[in-house]
Amino acid sequence: MRHDTPLNSLGFAKAPAETRVVVAMSGGVDSSVVAAELAAQGYDVVGITLQLYDHGAALAKKGACCAGRDIHDARRVAEELNFPHYVLDYENTFREAVIDDFAESYLAGATPVPCIRCNERVKFKDLLQTAKDLDADCMATGHYIQRKTGANGAQLHMAADHNRDQSYFLFSTTSEQLDYLRFPLGHLTSKAETRALASKYGLGVADKPDSQDICFVPDGNYAAVIEKLHPGSAKPGDIVDQSGKVLGTHNGIIHYTIGQRRGLGIGGLTDPIYVVRLDIENRQVVVGPKEMLATRQVRLKEVNWLGDEPLTAQSEWSIAAKVRSTRPPRDAVLRPLSETEAMVELMVAEEGVAPGQACVFYDPDGSRVLGGGWITRG
């Protein structure tokens, strides 16, 4: 079929003015630049900001995303650039889909990644559906990741700036969602470029600092949030070595994560020790030497596969795997157990692989993201 109209920058065969795009606006510099760029190109832009929690409830703090200040900043950008902006109250959805899941995972001895759940269960689910309800052709976000068109449709790729790449947090994006999503910042090679664009458009958020923490966890104190949501959940117990010998006591497993070394309160040992396992049933924190943290076999659940063939089409796949957001992808073999479960064998052992974290798959010879899954047993 012949198209006389060339594709616009968002991939549609029509004029930008006839292309409606919903921009998910957090109030930060990244999503504000996306909105400004698209508005400048003449697109029919609609900005939407989600209110995700009651910032008066002491779970939020200045500098976290989606708090009151950020809603104000997003609204101001929309006013400056003259496009409509809506604030949607997603507090209940966010609490049930993200905060409660976070707390329950911690209580079960896992180390969750709530930002992935938020993208999966809120932003790329309910917000994306809202965009469709508004008759938008697509939804754009300020994430640092690339969407490219391959022989079999849209593909997910790492950001050009690997230091800012957010693919680890977006592994659960489905092919259907990817068809509808756009990531206009993914090709930029540094954050400085984003800030320069913000200055070019005269945005008040050009120098706004990036948010660092999980948005609903003040000062990184996870245990305080869990105690607030589940009073009395921090029950004391023993700190033991791998043979069961009691080395000390703790005041709640929620204060510990796999790989932790500091704050164990155990003296008199010649070699450093680390948290190697959390025994929820017996309320024990199991510690041991660093080599006990080394893991090569990782079991996954809720696998999202973005390859061109079905996951189960092969008994094994050569991939690069990332088991922490801060670590580079390493050579691995992916062995499907079902369409949603798999084992990953790491060619070189990784330390501190924890249940509740994500394991993300990459093309070992390129930048393509092939999906990922949730670690159930390191």
Tell me what percent of the residues of the chain surpass a pLDDT of 70.
94
Average pLDDT rounded to a whole number, residues 67-79: 87
Is the pLDDT at 63 greater than 60, yes or no?
Answer: no
Per the CB < 8 A criterion, the answer to whether 330 and 347 are in contact is yes
Helix (H, G, I), strand (E, B) or coil at 36: helix
Question: Does an H or E element contain 313, and which?
Answer: none
Average pLDDT rounded to a whole number, residues 293-312: 96
CATH 2.40.30.10 in the chain, residues?
294-377
Q: Which CATH architecture has domain 294-377?
A: Beta Barrel (2.40)
Q: How far is CA 296 from the centre of its chain?
A: 23
Selected residue with higher pLDDT from 222 and 375: 375
Instruction: Indicate the range of 135-139, 254-258, 314-318 predicted with least confidence.
Output: 254-258
The model carries a pTM of 0.90
Q: How far is the C-alpha of 27 from the C-alpha of 50, rounded, in Å?
A: 10
What mean pLDDT is reported for the chain? 90
Question: Does an H or E element contain 57, and which?
Answer: none
Tell me what percent of the residues of the chain surpass a pLDDT of 90.
66
CATH 2.30.30.280 in the chain, residues?
234-288
pLDDT at 148: 96
Contacts 24+ apart (CB under 8 A), 128-131: 128/177, 128/180, 128/181, 130/22, 130/48, 130/88, 131/22, 131/48, 131/180
Please write the tens of the pLDDT for every residue from 265-299.
887 777 889 999 999 989 999 999 999 999 999 99
Please write the tens of the pLDDT for every residue from 17-52.
999 999 999 988 999 999 999 999 999 999 999 988
Catalytic amino acids? 118, 215
Is the pLDDT at 65 greater than 60, yes or no?
Answer: no
Is the pLDDT at 60 greater than 70, yes or no?
Answer: no
In CATH, what class is 16-142+184-219?
alpha beta
Is the pLDDT at 378 greater than 50, yes or no?
Answer: no
Please write the tens of the pLDDT for every residue from 163-222.
999 999 999 999 999 999 999 999 999 999 999 999 999 988 878 877 766 788 867 788
Q: What is the CATH superfamily name and number for domain 234-288?
A: Adenine nucleotide alpha hydrolases-like domains (2.30.30.280)
Which tokens in the block code for residue 34? 């996306």
Residue 339 banded pLDDT, cuts 50, 70, 90: very high
Quick one: which of 364, 376, 281, 353 has its CA closest to 321?
364
Residue 108 banded pLDDT, cuts 50, 70, 90: confident
Could you please report the per-residue DSSP string of 245-273?
-EEEEES-GGG--TT--TT----S-SS--
pLDDT at 57: 46
Q: How far is the C-alpha of 280 from the C-alpha of 237, rounded, in Å?
A: 10
CATH 3.40.50.620 in the chain, residues?
16-142+184-219
